[in-house]
Amino acid sequence: MSARQAIATLLVGASLVLAAHRAHAEPGDVDEARRLFIEGAKLAQKGSWAEARDRYEQSLGHKRAPLTLYSLGVAQRATGLRVEALDSFRAFLAEQGTTATAGYLQPAKQAVDELEAEVGHLRVSLAGPAGPSASLELDGRLLSGAALLAPTVVNPGPHRLRASVPRWGEVTVDVVVAAGSTQEVTLRLVGPLAEPRPTAIAAPTPVATYPRALPYALLGAGAVTLAAGVAIGVVGVSQAEASPTRDGAEADAARTKALVGDVVGGVGIAAMAAGLGVLIFTPRSRRAPRATHLAPFVAGPSGGLLGTF
């Protein structure tokens, strides 16, 4: 039977089959399935196999019919989709036969035999510690675990295999499968990816700090020193006023005490100012403070602070 004769017979057979199923389906679905099937058959007669395949697929979406499966297999084979055509012909043979489909049983069986010799097979294995848990893809399509147990039927030509495991990375292999051959491919995942290292953070610039007790010690010592200077100055002024003359040893001693009082008082004021400045402008130390000892001293006409920090 020629291709044109087969198509013409298909048109008649399809009408009979779809009419027989009309009572078991919605009229709109059957009518649309018939319309798409006839349109696909006309496209097939013109050699527009890709468009015909599309119409057959749409027709099956409205109503599953044996002759539509057969016709889809013919269109798929004509467009190089041998694996898909093999599935369609097998599905046709699995359907319950009718008078309209009896004439296509032998051609369908012959097509299955021929296609089984035309398709290729791809046997995939995974190697490496993470192999069994890998995700396997063929031409972007996720494969089930059964693909690792038996060869996968593929169309002849180039294919891309990809295996991946979280935190292990991935491996991709391109392979060409010849018609009627079985191509064996092993995908190996080398090992786990290195954990990302934390970004280094520069240490902060050291900031000068002070013991917690220092400013208070300075303020206290300054206050004591200021009080001592005031006291010495008051004594000196009193002695100067009590001296009978402005000259002489008593007057000189009084003036010296007044001067010492001024100097000691100034030191006290300076110490208080330093303590206040440290308290306001310098960050506190987080370390435990060391013992701080301050004591004023007077040596002749001069004075100051002695201490340890």
pLDDT for 218 beyond 90: no
* H or E stretch covering 213: none
Q: Which residue has the tokens 């009978």?
A: 244
Q: What is the pLDDT of residues 62-90, one digit of tens each?
A: 999 999 999 999 999 999 999 999 999 99
pTM for the predicted model, two decimal places: 0.53
- For residue 109, what pLDDT is reported? 94
Q: How many helices (H) and strands (E) does the chain have?
A: 8, 9
Q: Are 116 and 153 in contact (CB under 8 A)?
A: no
Cα dist from 73 to 15, 41, 70, 156, 162, whole Å: 18, 13, 5, 17, 29
164 or 276, higher pLDDT: 164
| Full DSSP string of 68-113 | HHHHHHHHHHHTT-HHHHHHHHHHHHHSPP-TTTGGGHHHHHHHHH
Q: What is the pLDDT of residues 171-217, one digit of tens each?
A: 888 999 998 888 888 878 776 665 556 565 655 665 555 566 666 67
Q: Would you kindly state where each structural domain of the chain is located, as residue ranges?
A: 3-117, 120-188, 214-308
- For residue 42, what pLDDT is reported? 95
The region of weakest confidence among 74-83, 119-128, 138-147, 289-298 is 289-298
CATH classification code of 120-188: 2.60.40
Q: Are 151 and 121 in contact (CB under 8 A)?
A: yes
Q: CA end-to-end span of the chain, whole Å? A: 113
pLDDT class for 226, splitting at 50, 70, 90? low
CATH classification code of 3-117: 1.25.40.10
- For residue 132, what pLDDT is reported? 62
The span from the CA of 149 to the CA of 181, in Å, is 18
